Each structure stands twice: as structure tokens, then as C-alpha cells.
């Protein structure tokens, strides 16, 4: 199983469009605001989004503010602990500047401490990266933009049904990089294992992006969900996913980034010093967060919960006062918590702290379990810390499976 299969499964559950190295983040809260609209739904998209008419945008902003008001009133203490905000989607940059202003002013009036938080990220898609929208977001404290480029090859963008071209992607990248002089941090996303993509094609994209001026790059292997348009094309044999090239593409991308001065602080995330995403590190460190919007997940007091995922159902739920009984509740038992601690720690460069795991969960991982993985050169152990090395990053699912004790009570 590839590293991203297991990742995608949990990411889908958490709905973070949309993930501790130098910065230790504990006991902080994150706020995720979902914007569920895209100009066109990409052929591979498996997220909670819709290509909705722009007349819905205003209604959506009103509803998100209503949801925030109800939930902040239920637990006002959450507001005071917010340290990161993430505007994800969907496509947050699709909202016209005036509506974004209305939403962020409204959240500010409800008590979101925009001026005191550590990081405020907004996802941007190339076709809606208008300067007015970016500057308007910056007025509200957005200090980090994450650009969805996915590929620098027009034929590949077309095959996965993206609506932008490489030219539009490059123009957006240029606009964002110009904002770096105003203290803005810029991240960009790429995908690999695209239909008929070659290793050279992907590594060349990575090299170009690494030299472009961005401080953070994420890359993910394409996950083809069977019910998507792309899934149908693959099933009919119209497109072929180069699954056998996964390892070479991933390792080629890592090598190119490390040569360019980026360090892998998480399996799919690479940063220059102080460019790491604080918000995503909070997810990986099992910090608490709230999500607003259809299907956006929250995690608090060992409980994951989410409102309805379908837009129309979510709209009714908000209009009815966000009744607790309609929440999708998922309490995290001991077994699941241990799995997440092992898996989320190993995803990160800092690795798994065996002493902390033993202390917090009364679970120990025996040396005889570690030894075969050390011999395969998939992990290394230094004092109480276990880290992935070499092909261990590609074999992460197998490593996690080998490390999780099988006799944990649920
Ligand atoms: S831009 Fe992202 S969220 Fe929007 S349709 Fe494409 S894959 Fe889905």
C-alpha cells in the first residue's frame, strides 16, 4: 500500500483539504474554514465541493457566520486558544474580495483573534489568484498562501481535468512570490503519479518550483477514487496510472528538494527553515481544531465530529441552530489514539517518541519488533526516538502496521 493511500483515508475523514520539527506545537487550537466551491470540479476530486453558481456565495458566507456564532457561543473558551487559521476548500480564492471581507470581518466581530494568531493560511487556485483578492485577505492577517499548481505540464493538467493552464499557474506563482517582500510565506502543491507521467517530468517540475522562490512545497501521489470521472477513465482503460513509478517519483522529488535546501518535515511536506506549516503540524501532533462549513471536521476532547457533508443538508442544519444530535460523532478510543500517535508521529521527521508513548498510553514497542525494520533500513532508532529512513518513507504503512501492538483494548 502506498503512503498516500492510508493518508488519504484519514485526510478524507478529517477533511483538511485538505499536514513538529523545529517548532513544538502543543495545546494550541486551529480553526479551519471550508469554502466548498470550485469553478469546475476536477476529474479526480473526491472532496466535499461543488461547482455552484456565484449567487450561492453570499448565502454561504451568511451561513458560515451563523454556524460560527452558534458554536462560539456554545464554547467561548475555544476562541481564546486559536493560534492558527486555515481557509481551505474547495477554492477560498473563488470568493470575491467583498464577500471574503464580510466573512472575515464577521468572524473577527465574533471574537476570532486574527491579529494575535501565529499563522493564517489561505489556499489559492491559479485561476482565481486576483491581486485584489490576495491583498484583501492580507488586510485580515493572511500571511501564508498555498497555491494548487499540481503540474507544470499542460497535457497532464488536462488529463486530470484541472481548469487552469501552466501559463495561468505561472502568473499566479509570480504574483504570490512578489508578495514575499511583504512577509508573506508561499507554498505550492504538486501531484505525481499522474496519468502517463514520467519520473523525469515530475522531478523537473519539482526542480523548477524549488528554484522559483517559494519556501514550502507539498507533493502527493494521485489517489484515484473509483467513483470520480478519472476513476471511470482509468477503469475503461482510457488513462493509465504509472503505479510502478511511485517509489522513483517520490524519491526523485525528495532528492531534488533536499538539494535545493528544503527539508522533509513530513512525508509530503518540504520547507526551507521557518517555512513549515504550523496549522498542519497541529493536526499531526493531535492538537485540537474546529472546522466550519459542510463536512468540516473538528477534534476536541478526544472526539472527532462534523456537521452534515452535503451542502443543502448542512444549510438546513445551520438554520435549525446546529443541533448536536445531527453531528457525526467519532470518539477516539485508546486503540485508535495509539494508531494515530504512531502513524502521525512517523509521518514527521522528528519521528515517534517511544518513552512518551509508554508514558501516555502505557504501551511499549519491543526491540524485537523494531529490529527487522532497522535491518531493512526502513527505520532508525536513536535513544527513545524512532524515525523513518530511506525506503521506510515509501513503506510507511507497512512500518506502522508492524509497530502497532495487536493486543490493545479498544
Ligand atoms: S481544485 Fe481541489 S477541491 Fe476544487 S475540484 Fe479541484 S481537486 Fe477538488
Ligand 1 atom at minimal distance to the Cα of residue 46: 8
Of the chain, the percentage scoring pLDDT greater than 90 comes to 82
- Give the length of the chain: 410
Distance CA 221, CA 92 (A): 23
Q: pLDDT grade, residue 5 (50/70/90)?
A: very low
Whether residue 21 is predicted with pLDDT greater than 70 in this model: the reply is no
- The verdict on whether omega for the bond into residue 90 sits within 30 degrees of 0, i.e. cis, is yes
Q: Of 180-189, 228-237, 324-333, which gets the smallest average pLDDT?
A: 324-333
Read off the pLDDT of residues 272-299 as tens digits, 9 standing for 90 and up.
999 999 999 999 999 999 999 999 999 9
Whether residue 213 is predicted with pLDDT greater than 90 in this model: the reply is yes
Q: Is 128 in the pocket of ligand 1 (CB under 6 A)?
A: no
Return the pLDDT at 49. Answer: 86
Cβ neighbourhood burial of 10 (10 Å; 0-12, 13-18, 19+): middle
> How many whole angstroms from 45 Cα to the centroid of ligand 1?
6
Could you identify the residue written with the cell 477560498?
A: 92
Q: Is 125 in the pocket of ligand 1 (CB under 6 A)?
A: yes
Selecting from 1.20.1730.10, 3.20.20.70, 3.20.20.80, 3.30.465.10, what CATH number does the domain 3-283 have? 3.20.20.70
Q: Is 38 in the pocket of ligand 1 (CB under 6 A)?
A: yes
How many other β-carbons are positioned within 10 Å of the β-carbon of residue 19?
A: 21
Whether residue 108 is predicted with pLDDT greater than 60 in this model: the reply is yes
Return the pLDDT at 28. Answer: 81
Of 6 and 84, the one with more pLDDT: 84
The answer to whether the CB of 218 falls within 8 A of the CB of 190 is yes
Whether residue 249 is predicted with pLDDT greater than 70 in this model: the reply is yes
Distance CA 157, CA 179 (A): 26
Q: pLDDT grade, residue 192 (50/70/90)?
A: very high
Sequence-distant (6+) residues with CB within 8 A of 76 are 111
Closest CA to 192 of 160, 146, 232, 237: 160
Atom 3 of ligand 1 has which residue's CA nearest to it?
90
Return the pLDDT at 27. Answer: 58
Sequence-distant (6+) residues with CB within 8 A of 140 are 100, 101, 104, 105, 108, 114, 120
> How many whole angstroms from 81 Cα to the centroid of ligand 1?
30
Return the pLDDT at 52. Answer: 78
Ligand 1 atom at minimal distance to the Cα of residue 40: 5
SS3 of the chain: the string is CCHHHHHHHHHHHHCCCCCCCCCCCCCCEEEEEEECECCCCCCCCCCCCECCCCHHHHHHHHHHHHHHHHHHHHCCHHHHCEEEEEEEECCHHHCCHHHHHHHHHHHHHCCCCHHHCCEEEEEECHHHCCHHHHHHHHHCCCCEEEEEEECCCHHHHHHCCCCCCHHHHHHHHHHHHHHHHHCCEEEEEEEECCCCCCHHHHHHHHHHHHCCCCCEEEEEECCCCCCCHHHHHHHCCCCCCCHHHHHHHHHHHHHHHHHCCCEEEECCEEECCCCCCHHHHHHHCCCEEEEECCCCEEEECCEEEECCCCHHHHHHHHHCCCCHHHCEEEECCHHHHHHHHHHHHHCECCCEEHHHHHHHHCCCCCHHHHHHHHHCCCEEEECCEEEECHHHHCCHHHHHHHHCCCCCCC
Taking residues 4-8, what's their average pLDDT? 37
Distance CA 377, CA 32 (A): 37
Return the pLDDT at 19. Answer: 33
Q: Report strand pairing: 82-89 vs 119-124.
A: parallel
Domain ranges across the chain? 3-283, 334-403
Return the pLDDT at 409. Answer: 65
Q: Positive or negative, the Cα torsion across 49, 50, 54, 59?
A: negative
Read off the pLDDT of residues 132-166 as tens digits, 9 standing for 90 and up.
999 999 999 999 999 999 999 999 999 999 999 99
Whether residue 4 is predicted with pLDDT greater than 80 in this model: the reply is no
Q: Does domain 334-403 have CATH number 1.10.3470.10?
A: no
104 — phi, psi (to 5°)?
Answer: -70, -35
HSE-CB at 381 with a 13 A cutoff on CA atoms is 18
What is the reported pTM? 0.91
Whether residue 1 is predicted with pLDDT greater than 70 in this model: the reply is no
Ligand 1, pocket-test mutation among 12, 34, 43, 49, most atoms within 8 A of CB = 49
Return the pLDDT at 326. Answer: 87
Of the chain, the percentage scoring pLDDT greater than 70 comes to 93
Whether residue 113 is predicted with pLDDT greater than 50 in this model: the reply is yes
289 beta partners: 30, 299
Whether residue 6 is predicted with pLDDT greater than 90 in this model: the reply is no
Q: Is 45 in the pocket of ligand 1 (CB under 6 A)?
A: yes
Return the pLDDT at 43. Answer: 97
190 beta partners: 150, 219
In angstroms, the Cα distances linking 187 to 36, 177, 180, 212 are 21, 10, 11, 11
CA–centroid distance for 324 within its chain: 26
Q: Is 41 in the pocket of ligand 1 (CB under 6 A)?
A: yes
Q: Is 79 in the pocket of ligand 1 (CB under 6 A)?
A: no
Q: Is 91 in the pocket of ligand 1 (CB under 6 A)?
A: yes
Q: Is 89 in the pocket of ligand 1 (CB under 6 A)?
A: yes
Q: Is 150 in the pocket of ligand 1 (CB under 6 A)?
A: no
Amino acid at each position: 500500500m502506498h503512503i498516500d493511500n492510508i493518508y488519504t483515508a484519514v485526510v478524507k475523514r478529517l477533511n483538511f483539504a485538505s499536514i513538529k520539527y523545529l517548532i513544538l506545537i502543543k495545546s494550541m487550537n486551529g480553526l479551519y474554514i471550508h469554502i466548498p466551491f470550485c469553478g469546475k470540479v476536477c476529474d479526480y476530486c473526491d472532496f466535499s465541493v461543488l461547482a455552484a453558481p456565484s449567487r450561492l456565495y453570499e448565502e454561504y458566507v451568511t451561513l458560515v457566520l451563523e454556524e460560527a456564532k452558534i458554536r462560539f457561543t456554545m464554547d467561548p473558551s475555544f476562541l481564546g486558544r486559536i493560534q492558527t487559521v486555515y481557509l481551505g476548500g474547495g477554492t477560498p480564492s473563488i470568493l470575491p474580495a467583498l464577500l471574503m471581507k464580510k466573512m472575515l470581518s464577521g468572524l473577527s466581530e465574533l471574537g476570532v483573534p486574527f491579529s494575535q494568531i501565529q499563522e493564517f493560511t489561505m489556499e489559492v487556485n491559479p485561476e482565481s489568484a486576483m491581486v485584489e483578492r490576495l491583498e484583501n485577505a492580507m488586510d485580515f492577517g493572511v500571511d501564508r498562501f498555498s497555491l494548487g499548481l499540481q503540474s507544470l505540464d499542460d497535457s497532464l493538467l488536462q488529463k486530470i481535468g484541472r481548469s487552469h493552464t501552466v501559463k495561468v499557474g505561472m502568473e499566479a506563482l509570480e504574483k504570490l512570490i512578489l508578495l514575499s517582500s511583504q512577509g508573506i510565506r508561499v507554498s505550492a502543491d504538486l501531484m505525481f503519479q499522474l496519468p502517463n507521467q514520467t519520473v523525469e517530468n515530475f522531478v523537473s517540475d519539482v526542480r523548477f518550483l524549488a528554484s522559483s522562490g517559494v519556501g514550502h512545497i507539498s507533493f502527493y501521489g494521485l489517489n484515484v477514487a473509483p467513483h470520480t470521472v478519472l476513476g471511470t477513465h482509468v477503469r475503461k482503460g482510457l488513462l493509465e496510472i504509472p503505479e510502478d513509478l511511485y517509489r522513483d517519483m517520490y524519491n526523485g522529488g525528495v532528492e531534488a528538494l533536499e538539494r535545493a535546501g528544503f527539508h522533509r518535515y513530513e512525508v509530503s511536506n518540504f520547507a526551507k527553515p521557518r517555512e513549515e506549516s504550523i496549522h498542519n503540524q497541529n493536526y499531526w501532533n493531535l492538537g485540537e481544531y474546529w472546522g466550519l462549513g459542510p463536512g468540516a471536521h473538528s477534534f476536541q476532547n478526544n472526539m472527532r465530529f462534523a456537521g452534515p457533508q452535503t451542502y443543502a443538508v448542512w444549510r438546513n442544519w445551520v438554520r435549525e441552530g446546529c443541533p448536536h444530535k445531527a453531528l457525526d460523532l467519532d470518539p477516539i478510543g485508546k486503540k485508535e489514539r495509539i494508531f494515530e500517535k504512531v502513524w502521525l508521529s512517523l509521518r514527521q521527521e522528528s519521528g515517534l517518541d517511544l518513552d512518551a508513548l509508554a508514558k501516555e498510553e502505557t504501551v511499549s514497542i519491543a526491540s524485537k519488533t523494531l529490529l527487522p525494520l532497522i535491518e531493512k533500513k526502513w527505520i532508525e532508532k536513536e535513544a527513545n526516538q524512532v524515525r523513518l529512513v530511506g525506503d521506510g518513507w515509501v513503506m510507511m504503512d507497512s512500518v506502522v502496521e508492524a509497530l502497532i501492538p495487536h493486543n490493545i483494548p479498544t
